């Protein structure tokens, strides 16, 4: 080991350029094809990880934890396959296996230092993982970190692998691990909306088209529509995740499987299925599975559609709860925090606003994924890291957002029954029920006069002797107007 006695402002050559190295304690010297670097003695990462960290200092956002777990599963499966086929010595293989198990448990997450967006199609994350596992395996054998002549990150940990099959496989495993929480959160939202559908079924409200008064609708019907919308989203997302079970592990660099024994590929897939608990299968065409990312776009699109649907629902809820004096105020959203730093007593629909913003962000995530997918060339899409970053973010914020929105908003919504009743009675939309009885033209005349004079439809119809009180009682029943059919008798008058 080397003692680093250099000053903070001294330079160390890095790949043909000069950069400042921070002052550190004891170090070890590691080399690659671009030169040498001093690495902290206690670090499990190595020279390629350090280069990647310094090459891509973007947001400080590291690799998602689920991707780290997925990489651990893949590395374990691969080393087990290499042991089965006799491609690696038992001593080295078992040390790497033990290191992989520890890695999967999360013991070395802090040693994954590369950022989520990086050049190289994921080579940086692959090498960061390879170096951490190699150095821990060296420790297990009682050797010093950095002794890559004994256990190499490339030769041993990465045996029969390429970034181009390992990282996409790990990503798919990671997303599949997130599936249950995402689906559960949306199903809870779906159930909460169904509960409100039943709770509000007997409450008649004003329907609106073009933001103008329309015919009556039951408040329960409105929430039933939202429930069915989210129900379709759950199904669409679940179905779009099925393609992630097809992986290209064993494809190596371009999908041809160079350096990967068929027996190794079979064993690696079997072991990956066992250790991850995911029902993964080897892709039918490895070149296709290596170069094309349409399954990511398919999933992202399903998530985007869900976000669009939920955002539309949030827009409705904010309008329906607007007020409390000068708005619709047909429903009451749960008050979760004071709404203004200057207006006492103001309460804002912050949970719906939050969910709107989550949905806006998901639209951006989807656009980035679509652009990155289209930007691939030939046998590899090198833009995979930004696809991974945006997919993880979209899934995570939709999962968390839906949970909070369900529990802090939807479940606590109350109907303002009195306001709904008053609005229906004042609405001109009820005159639509008169169409089959007095004709569209006469109904239009009544509606126009009612709007101009601020008098009720019932009052004008009675005054003009068009229908009797009993006939109007039969026709103008708001509850019946919310179902198919014609209320009361049918009579068209030309008088």
Closest CA to 1 of 34, 32, 38, 33: 38
Helix (H, G, I), strand (E, B) or coil at 402: helix
Mean pLDDT over 404-416 rounds to 98
| pTM metric for this prediction | 0.90
- Answer for the pair 369, 307: CB distance below 8 angstroms, yes or no: no
* 2 pLDDT tier (thresholds 50, 70, 90): very low
Angle 273-274-276 from CA coordinates, rounded to 5°: 70
Instruction: Kindly name the residue from 31, 59, 89, 340 that is annotated as catalytic.
Output: 340
Give CATH for domain 427-481.
1.10.40.30
489 pLDDT higher than 70: no
Give CATH for domain 165-417.
1.20.200.10
Closest CA to 237 of 286, 272, 291, 190: 190
Tell how strand 246-247 and strand 281-282 pair up.
Answer: parallel
CA 323 to chain centre: 32
> Which helix (H) or strand (E) segment is 400 a member of?
helix 384-408
Q: Dump strand ranges (E) for 365-423.
A: 414-415
* 456 pLDDT tier (thresholds 50, 70, 90): confident
415 pLDDT higher than 50: yes
- Look-up of token digits 């209320």: 487
* 431 pLDDT tier (thresholds 50, 70, 90): confident
- Look-up of token digits 């002549």: 149
* 3 pLDDT tier (thresholds 50, 70, 90): very low
Give CATH for domain 28-159.
1.10.275.10
281 pLDDT higher than 60: yes
- Answer for the pair 402, 187: CB distance below 8 angstroms, yes or no: no
Is 340 one of the catalytic residues? yes
CATH 1.10.40.30 in the chain is located at: 427-481
Helix (H, G, I), strand (E, B) or coil at 44: coil
CATH 1.20.200.10 in the chain is located at: 165-417
Residue-wise pLDDT for 301-332, tens only, equals 999 999 999 999 999 999 999 999 999 999 99
The rounded percent of the chain whose pLDDT value lies above 90 is 81
* 487 pLDDT tier (thresholds 50, 70, 90): low
CA 313 to chain centre: 18
CATH 1.10.275.10 in the chain is located at: 28-159
Please give the pLDDT value at position 7.
39
Distance CA 180, CA 403 (A): 13
101 pLDDT higher than 90: yes
What average pLDDT does the structure give for the chain?
Answer: 92
Mean pLDDT over 396-400 rounds to 98
């Amino acid at each position: 080991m080397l003692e680093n006695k250099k000053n903070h402002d001294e330079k160390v050559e890095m790949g043909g350029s000069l950069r400042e190295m921070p002052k550190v304690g004891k170090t070890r010297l590691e080399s690659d094809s671009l030169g040498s670097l001093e690495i902290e003695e206690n670090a499990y990462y190595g020279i390629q990880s350090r280069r990647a960290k310094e090459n891509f200092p973007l947001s400080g956002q590291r690799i998602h934890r689920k991707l780290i777990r997925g990489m651990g599963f893949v590395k374990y499966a691969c080393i087990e396959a290499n042991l089965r086929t006799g491609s690696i010595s038992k001593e080295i293989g078992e040390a790497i296996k033990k290191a992989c198990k520890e890695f999967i448990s999360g013991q070395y997450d802090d040693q994954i230092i590369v950022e989520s967006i990086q050049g190289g199609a994921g080579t940086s994350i692959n090498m960061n993982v390879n170096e951490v596992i190699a150095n821990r395996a060296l420790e297990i054998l009682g050797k010093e970190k950095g002794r890559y002549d004994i256990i190499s990150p490339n030769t041993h940990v990465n045996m029969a692998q390429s970034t181009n099959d390992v990282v996409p496989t790990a990503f798919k495993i990671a997303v599949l691990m997130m599936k249950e929480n995402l689906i559960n959160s949306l199903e809870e939202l779906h159930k909460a909306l169904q509960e409100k559908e039943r709770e509000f079924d007997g409450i008649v409200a004003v329907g609106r088209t073009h933001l103008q008064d329309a015919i009556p609708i039951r408040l329960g019907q409105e929430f039933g529509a939202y429930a069915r919308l989210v129900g379709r989203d759950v199904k669409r997302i679940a179905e779009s995740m099925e393609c992630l079970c097809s992986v290209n592990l064993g494809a190596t660099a371009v999908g041809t499987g160079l350096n990967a024994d068929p027996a190794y590929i079979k064993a690696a897939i079997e072991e990956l299925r066992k250790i991850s608990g995911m029902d993964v299968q080897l892709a039918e065409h490895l070149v296709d599975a290596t170069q094309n990312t349409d399954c990511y776009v398919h999933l992202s699109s399903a998530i985007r559609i869900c976000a669009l649907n939920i955002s539309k629902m949030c827009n409705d809820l904010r309008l329906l709860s607007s007020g409390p004096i000068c708005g619709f105020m047909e429903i009451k959203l749960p008050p979760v925090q004071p709404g203004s730093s200057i207006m006492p007593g103001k309460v804002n629909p912050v949970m719906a606003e939050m969910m709107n913003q989550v949905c806006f962000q998901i639209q951006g995530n989807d656009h980035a994924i679509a652009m990155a997918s289209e930007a691939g060339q030939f046998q590899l899409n090198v833009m995979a890291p930004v696809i991974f970053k945006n997919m993880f973010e979209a899934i995570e914020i939709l999962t968390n957002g839906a949970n909070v929105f369900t529990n802090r908003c939807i479940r606590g919504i109350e109907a303002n029954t009195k306001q709904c009743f008053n609005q229906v009675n004042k609405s001109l939309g009820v005159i639509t029920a008169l169409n089959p009885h007095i004709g569209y033209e006469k109904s239009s005349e009544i509606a126009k006069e009612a709007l101009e004079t601020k008098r009720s439809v019932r009052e004008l119809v009675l005054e003009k002797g068009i229908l009797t009180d009993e006939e109007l009682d039969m026709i103008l029943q708001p509850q019946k107007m919310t179902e198919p059919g014609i209320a009361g008798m049918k009579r068209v008058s030309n008088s």
